């Protein structure tokens, strides 16, 4: 394994404000996306903001899946982080794209904990407070 895990960042634009403001739909979409990716769903925390917007986080055996929605802008930002080789976070993103039917989307994929990156990112001395 060249990295500890894979982190996918998904942005969706031009989504239905109604779907983005429906907390039950959003949580269901997250759960289905995690299962579609081969991840193991453990628990969820979510909150519907007033007058609009939803934040939801699914805890996975492999790490997490989350989404924040802005119905007034037709926009949502999601991330899927999975460790190991079994779960495929890209598939979770594909499921969310299908469920939210955006006009356009952007996916960014990051390898997390790659051995050469991890060594370079760890400071040799504690950082001074800012």
Active site residues: 63, 68, 83
Helices 89-100 and 23-36: angle between axes, nearest 10 degrees: 140
23 preceded by a cis bond (ω within 30 of 0): no
Distance CA 59, CA 40 (A): 9
């Amino acid at each position: 394994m060249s990295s500890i895990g894979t982190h996918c960042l998904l942005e969706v634009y031009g989504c239905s404000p109604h779907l983005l403001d429906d907390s039950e739909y959003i949580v269901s979409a997250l759960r289905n996306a995690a299962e579609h990716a081969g991840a193991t769903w453990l628990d969820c925390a979510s909150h519907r903001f007033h007058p609009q917007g939803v934040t939801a986080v699914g805890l996975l055996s492999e790490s997490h899946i989350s989404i924040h929605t802005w119905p007034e802008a037709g926009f949502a930002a999601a991330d899927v982080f999975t460790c190991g080789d079994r779960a495929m976070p890209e598939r979770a993103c594909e499921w969310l794209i299908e469920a939210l039917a955006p006009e356009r989307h952007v996916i960014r994929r990051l390898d997390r904990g790659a051995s050469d990156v991890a060594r370079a990112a760890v400071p040799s001395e504690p950082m001074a407070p800012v």
